[in-house]
Amino acid sequence: MKKKWNILVADDEAEVRTSLKESLEEIIACTVHTASDGIEAFDRVRSVPLDCCFVDLRMPRLDGLQLTEKIREYDNTVPVVIITGYASLDVAIDTMRRGASDFLIKPFSLKDVMVSFKKVTRERALLIENVFLKQEVEKKKDIERLNVELGHKIREVTQFKDVMQQFLSVRSNEELYRRILDMSAKITASGMVSLRVLDKEKDELEMFAAIPSKEEWAKKIPIDLDRWIADKVTKEGVILSTKEISVPSEIANLFAGDKEPPFLVSIPLKIKDKVVGVLNCAEKKDRGSYSDNDLRLLDFLSRKASLTIENLGLYESLSQHFFSTLYALVETIEARDPYTCEHSRRVTDLSIEIARAMRCSDNEVEILGFAGYLHDIGKIGIRDNILLKRSHLTDEEYDIIKLHPVIGSAIIGHVGSMHTGQAIIRHHHERWDGKGYPDGLKGESIPLLSRIMSVADAFDAMTSDRPYRNGSPGQEAIARIKQNAGKQFDRNVVDAFELVLKEMPGEAG
């Protein structure tokens, strides 16, 4: 006989209460109790043995957070899902700190409700069944807090991807500067273009690059003229040209006879009214003057470029913060299990050496370094009583452990530029013969970098101590890996692995 759930819906909006009550009672075996404010809701908590509470954040007499605390004090096994229309990082973190198990953001779908309901009731069952209830609750809260913070950081980084659609493929200031030069030359038909960029340490505009080259630019545009107009544009913060302003006599005297200074247009790149670069265009190919349309295009380009420079800086800062968070999570995982301490670093180092031996590109090696360190991050979602078990796992427990590549891939997949790293992490437990997990990929359908990491991961696992066994000697582990070449592992990767270890005698010992 199926369990009949007792659910509380507390919301001061009658329409929300009625809609949730009717929907839940229609699709699951349950009785839904309702309340229009916090005081009434807490009366229901004390009078009915509840399995789950959906509580609006803002209610009269007793708000959602105050009600959550009272429920936790009364029975800390009853999960509370906060409902709010005011989503923010502070609200999300505060709800979790105050004892909520999950939260829903209005408007939400019935599917969202059911996902949350299943999640929190499953967690409640585990808590009730756990012998070490108090210890596990504390660990669960820590993991939930980390997951909430990580989720918000991921969303922040994802938002920056959307902001930078205009320069979607630009990944560095240097690449952006090159594109600014090329686009400026193209849209204005200029034979010569240069870009000066602010050197923050010197607080000066330094020549970054020029078309066709810095040397050719210097031959036709005297350095004094170049620096003078750059300084003037920096001070005034507007587009200037040598046709509209008087060039100082000491600079004009540099041009012999009737020769006039070149027609030079200078455009500032600004971030929050501070000039961070100056773009110069000269030698219009049709020998005409720069038109108003040229100037409008250059102004538009400079604004877009300036915004992208600012976003790239902020994106880089957030990315560093984001990856610092991910690396901290890896350290948290390894701190939970002393037997895997430094495992991620060792797997990364060995994977990189194998990749280099296989002549992978610098970009592939860089991605492997990132993915290697994070390949087990999905274990943050595995319960300690399974992850840290001191004896062999049951089949059911092993099935849960096998979810960690999927969880890790999902975490990394929120960063739009990390699709390759996501695939490496998801498939590093696939086997050459197709008997691996999670997707049962076979042969070359498994990404090469995943095949490389699979060998490095297996070698480190074999040679490392575990609670239930001692690590194998290096030569024994090598022999086992060679024995499984063509079955579990790619033969070519195993050959490269063996070559690498011959050059790293400490590893092979």
- Could you tell me if residue 425 is inside a domain? yes
Q: What is the b/e burial string over 136-175, where b = at least 16 CB atoms within 10 angstroms of the residue's CB?
A: beeebeebbeeebbbebbbebbeebeeebeebeebeebee
Structural domain count of the chain = 3
Q: What is the pLDDT of residues 79-116, one digit of tens each?
A: 898 888 776 667 777 777 778 888 888 888 888 888 88
Adjacent-strand bridge partners of 104: 83
Q: 118 CB contacts (<8 Å, ≥6 apart)? A: none
The predicted pLDDT at position 375 comes to 83
Name the token pair of 81.
Answer: 């899902």
Residue 341 and residue 431 share a domain: yes
Could you tell me the pTM of the whole model? Answer: 0.43
Amino acid (1-letter code) at residue 484: N
Evaluate if residue 420 carries a pLDDT over 90: no
Q: Report d(CA 94, CA 83) in Å as an integer.
A: 13
Two structure tokens written together for 457: 């991961």
Domain that holds residue 72: 5-162
What number of residues does the chain have?
509
- pLDDT per position as a tens digit, 370-403: 888 888 878 877 787 877 777 788 888 888 888 8
Q: How confident is the model at residue 438 (pLDDT cuts 50, 70, 90)?
A: very high
Find which of 97-101, 219-223, 225-229, 457-461 is predicted with most confidence, using mean pLDDT: 457-461
Pick the last residue of a domain from 127, 162, 197.
Answer: 162
Q: In this predicted model, what pLDDT tens digit does every residue of 472-495 receive, in sequence order?
A: 787 888 899 999 999 999 999 999
- Which domain CATH number covers 118? 3.40.50.2300
- Tens of pLDDT, residue by residue over 311-333, are 555 445 545 555 566 656 666 66
Sign of CA dihedral 195, 196, 201, 203: negative
Burial category of 108 from C-beta neighbours within 10 Å (exposed 0-12, middle 13-18, buried 19 and up): middle
Q: Residue 451 sits in a domain of what CATH number?
A: 1.10.3210.10
Same domain, 303 and 257: yes
Our measurement of the distance from residue 209's CA atom to the centroid of its chain's CA atoms, rounded to an integer in Å, reads: 32
In the DSSP assignment, the letter for residue 490 is -
**pLDDT for the residue numbered 480:** 92
On whether residue 321 sits in a domain, the answer given is no
Q: Is residue 45 part of a domain?
A: yes
| pLDDT class of 448 with cuts at 50, 70, 90 | very high
Residue 124: pLDDT over 60: yes
Dihedral (CA of 331, 332, 335, 341) sign: negative
In this structure, is residue 319 part of a structural domain? no
Do 289 and 384 lie in one domain? The reply is no
- The DSSP secondary structure of 382-442, one letter per residue, reads S-HHHHT-SSPPPHHHHHHHTTHHHHHHHHHHTSGGGHHHHHHHHTTT--TTS--SSS---
* pLDDT value for 505: 59
* Averaged pLDDT score across all residues of the chain: 78
CA 14 distance to own-chain centroid: 40
CB atoms within 10 A of CB 98: 16
Structure tokens at 322: 């984001």
Same domain, 181 and 152: no
pLDDT of 76 > 50? The answer is yes
More confident residue, 498 or 107: 498
Question: Has residue 167 been placed in a domain?
Answer: no
Predicted confidence at residue 328, as pLDDT, reads: 62
Q: Is residue 322 part of a domain?
A: no
The answer to the question of residue 327 being in a domain is no
C-alpha span between 233 and 43 (Å, rounded): 70
Q: Give 453-481 as a DSSP string.
A: HHHHHHHHHHHS-BTTBPPPPHHHHHHHH
Residue position matching structure tokens 């920056």: 160
Pair of tokens at residue 447 = 């990404």
Q: What confidence score (pLDDT) does residue 481 get?
A: 92
Q: Exposed, middle or buried by CB within 10 Å (0-12, 13-18, 19+), for 431? A: buried
- What is the four-CA torsion angle of 183, 188, 192, 194, rounded to 10 degrees? -50
**450 found inside a domain:** yes
- Same domain? For 209 and 153 the reply is no
Tell me: do 78 and 142 sit in the same domain.
yes
The answer to whether residues 238 and 346 belong to one domain is no
Query: Looking at 298, 313, 328, which one is the last position of a domain?
Result: 313
Do residues 302 and 370 share a domain? no
CB 300 within 8 A of CB 251: no
Dist. CA 130–CA 136, nearest whole Å: 8
Last residue of a domain, one of 128, 162, 196: 162
- Whether 101 and 177 share a structural domain: no
Q: CATH number for the domain including 308?
A: 3.30.450.40
37-51, 142-156, 364-378: which is most confident: 37-51
Over residues 10-34, the pLDDT tens digits come to 999 898 889 889 988 888 888 999 9
Contact criterion met (CB below 8 Å) for 422 and 412: yes
- CA 347/CA 324 separation, integer angstroms: 19
Residues 347 and 473 both lie in one domain: yes
Is there a single domain that holds both residue 137 and residue 26? yes
| 143 in the same domain as 208 | no
The secondary structure of residue 489, as a DSSP letter, is B
